Amino acid sequence: MNNFWSGYIIVLSLANIAAVTGMLMWTRKMDLSDLAEDGTTGHEYDGIKEYNNPLPRWWLICFWGSIVFALGYLALYPGLGKFPGLLGWTSHGELAAAEADYDKQFGPLYKSFAATPIPELAKNERAMKVAGRIFANNCALCHGSDARGAAGFPNLTDDDWLYGGEPEKLVETITYGRHGQMPTWLPTMGEQGVKEVVAYALSLSGRQVDEDLAKAGQARFMTCAGCHGPNGKGNQAIGAPNLTDTTWLHGGTLKKVTETVSYGRKSRMPNFDKTLGPERVHLMAAYVYSLSHK
C-alpha cells in the first residue's frame, strides 16, 4: 500500500467515526423548546404525527460502545492504512504461530515416522491414516481419491510402475516429480507408418490385429525400442511404459493408442520437496507403497 492510499484510508475511517460521534452529540443537544403542546413536532402527514422522543437509552449505549470499540480496535490491530497496530498482530504471525504449535504437537510423530523404514511404516495404521489425509489434500486431485488414477494419471494401487515401486524410487518420484515424454511420430512415419507400428504395439499385449500391418510395424518398432525396450517391456529409468501388459496410462483402445503414437504425450508429476518436505514425502512414499502391498 502506498502512502496516498494509506492516508486516504486513515482519513476516511477517522472522519467517519468523528462524523457519527458528532451526530450523536448534536442530537443530545437538540433544542426541544419549540415542540407543540402535545409533544409532537407539528409535522403531520395523512393524519400521522411525528414525535420527537429521545433515542432509547440501550440503543445509545450500544452506539457509544461501538465507537469506543472501533477506536480501541484501530489502535490495537492493523486497520488504519499502514499503521500496524499497537499489538503488532499480523496474519502471517498468526499462521507462523499456528504452524509452530502444530510442529510442536506433531513434530515428534513425523520424526518417528521418518525414522521407520517404508515397508514397515506402510503397515502402521496410525501413520497411514495421517498419510491418507495428506493424500486427499495433495494427490487426489490427479490420482483420484481412491488413488486409482485416470487417463494420463497413473493408478497407484496396482503393482505396475512407470518409474518403479521400490521405496527409494517412490521417494525419488514424490520428491523431485517426473516428466514423461513420448515423442510424436506422425510427421516422420506418416499415417500408414503409424498404423503399422500401432498394430505391432497392440500385438505385444496379445491383441487381435491385422497380421500384415503388425509385421510391417515390427520393423518400425526399432525406433521405439530405444525407450520401450526391444521386447516392449518398458524402461523405468525414463518412465517408458511397458507395452506388453494390459495397463494403459493414456488408454488402450486403437483410437487412443493411435493418438498417443501420432501426436506424442507429455505428463508431469509435480515435485513435492518444497511443499511437503522430506519427512512427509517419506510418509507419502509409505502410503503409496501400502496401496499395492495390501
Minimum CB–partner distance for residue 178 and ligand HEC (Å): 4
261 binds ligand HEC (CB under 6 A): yes
User: Looking at beta carbons, which pairs linking 24-32 to residues 24 or more positions away fall under 8 Å?
Assistant: 24/60, 24/63, 24/64, 24/67, 27/55
**Of 267, 258, 266, 239, nearest in space to 186 by CA:** 258
CA separation for the pair 238, 180 (Å, rounded)? 7
Q: What is the pattern of x (binds ligand HEC, CB under 6 A) and - over residues 208-237?
A: ---------------xx-xxx---------
| Burial group, residue 160, by CB count within 10 angstroms (0-12, 13-18, 19+) | middle
269 binds ligand HEC (CB under 6 A): yes
CA separation for the pair 177, 138 (Å, rounded)? 13
Minimum CB–partner distance for residue 95 and ligand HEC (Å): 22
Residue 203 and residue 226 in contact, taking contact as beta carbons nearer than 8 Å: no
Binding-residue total with ligand HEC (CB under 6 A)? 48
Residue 284 and residue 139 in contact, taking contact as beta carbons nearer than 8 Å: yes
244 binds ligand HEC (CB under 6 A): no
Q: What is the pattern of x (binds ligand HEC, CB under 6 A) and - over residues 156-175?
A: x----xxx------x--xx-
Residue 122 and residue 293 in contact, taking contact as beta carbons nearer than 8 Å: yes
Taking CB under 6 A as the binding criterion, the range among 83-91, 95-103, 116-124, 178-186 that sits at the site for ligand HEC is 178-186
Taking CB under 6 A as the binding criterion, the range among 38-46, 53-61, 111-119, 146-154 that sits at the site for ligand HEC is 146-154
Q: Interface with ligand HEC by CB under 6 A: which residues?
A: 138-139, 141-143, 152-154, 156, 161-163, 170, 173-174, 178-183, 185, 197, 201, 223-224, 226-228, 238-241, 243, 248-250, 257, 260-261, 265, 267-270, 272, 284, 288
